[in-house]
Amino acid sequence: MANKGETGASGRKTSPKAGKATKSKTLKKRLPEKLGWWSLWIGVAGLVSGLIIGIGGLILSRSSAMERAELRREIRRFEWQGRTDEMYVSPFYEIEDPALANIITYGLEAYREYEYDGAIAYFRSAMELTTETDTALDLSLLNFIGVSQIKSSAYKDAEQTFLEMIRIAEKAKIEEAPAFAYGNIGLVYRTLGELDKALEYHQKALKINEQIGRLQGQANQLGNIGIVYQDLGEPEKALEYYERALEINKKIGDLEGKVKDLGNIGIVYQTLGEPHKALEYYEQILKIHEKIGDLEGKAKDLGNIGLVYHTLGKPHK
């Protein structure tokens, strides 16, 4: 587990190292003066009822059930926004400690608000509150730290975080976590333009997801591999992987994944000079967005369809 300190009688890790909080005005109002310390908790105006405030030994808190419910609501916001593809969130559902749930909730909120330095500080603080038996939870927190580092363009730091995650997971024989870590290292290398290495790590992630039978993970990595092949200038190979991803997303009923795959296939057909085929896939996306009432998505679809018709010499369409 990352930067673990000594474990006291309670099982808590005692190291106070929590990372630096963001300097943004938003998070300044929420972050404790020293994240990870128990002597003082300062909350946001309007959310005070949801915080633990400790001053001079006086502690006021909501029930554990309320704290856990708030964390679950924050996780669901991620799921609704389709932001869990690269996130290992399942251990968060098992949290019982209200203080830990509270910190992680703020970390997720900071991440959603693009305050990645603040999110990293919260997640590192949460790791100081976990016990030695919370390996899966530590892995989940490391994954969020690594993804936040990617978003902050700290790519090498992110890679080291994910490699640490893999080492811990393999030692603890937790099969699912390395798939997320390998996939995210693939994202790091793809961002850096090192496409061969990106392909290597996405293939590793795919293999693990196949071994453990995680279909959503398989679909995600097939899509990622398709993108890398497209970047490598191999659209036919990309198409093969996008179509495999699409079949899985149809099978599991993942509409968002299906939309991504259909869009990627449409782009490939445009690249291959087959606009009529591209149009077929864009129109499928439009039907999905119309069915679920996604007006923003519908507007984008109509724009893409319009561009194809323009290519076909039918601008009036």
**Above 60 in pLDDT, residue 219?**
yes
Q: pLDDT digits over 170-203, tens only?
A: 999 999 999 999 999 999 999 999 999 999 999 9
pLDDT band at 74 (very low <50, low <70, confident <90, very high): confident
Q: Does residue 64 or residue 216 have the better pLDDT? A: 216
Q: pLDDT digits over 289-310, tens only?
A: 999 899 999 999 899 999 998 8
Helix pair 255-271, 275-292: axis angle to 10 deg: 160
| Rounded-to-integer distance, Cα 261 and Cα 241, Å | 9
C-alpha distance across the termini of the chain, in Å: 58
Residue 232 lies in a domain: no
Would you give the DSSP letter of residue 175?
S
The pLDDT, as a whole number, for residue 86 is: 62
Q: pLDDT digits over 254-286, tens only?
A: 998 999 999 999 999 999 999 999 999 999 999
Residue 63 lies in a domain: yes
The pLDDT, as a whole number, for residue 78 is: 61
How many C-beta atoms lie closer than 10 Å to residue 254's C-beta?
Answer: 19
Give the mean pLDDT of 124-146: 94
Residue 275 lies in a domain: no
Q: pLDDT digits over 75-115, tens only?
A: 776 665 555 556 677 888 888 888 998 999 999 999 989 99
Among candidate residues 219, 222, 224, the one with its CA nearest the CA of residue 250: 219
Q: pLDDT digits over 4-50, tens only?
A: 433 343 444 544 333 444 434 444 444 444 343 333 333 333 333 33
Give the mean pLDDT of 212-224: 96
Residue 90 lies in a domain: yes
**In the structure encoding, which two tokens stand for residue 254, read together?**
């993942």
Residue 289 lies in a domain: no
Q: pLDDT digits over 233-254, tens only?
A: 999 999 999 999 999 999 999 9
Number of domains in the chain: 1
**In the structure encoding, which two tokens stand for residue 296, read together?**
């923003």
Average pLDDT score, the chain = 81
Domain containing residue 8? 1-173
Residue 124 lies in a domain: yes
Give the predicted TM-score (pTM) of the model: 0.76
pLDDT band at 210 (very low <50, low <70, confident <90, very high): very high
Residue 196 lies in a domain: no
Segment (H or E) for 136: helix 135-151
Place of tokens 């890790």: 13
Residue 140 lies in a domain: yes
The pLDDT, as a whole number, for residue 88 is: 74
The pLDDT, as a whole number, for residue 33 is: 40
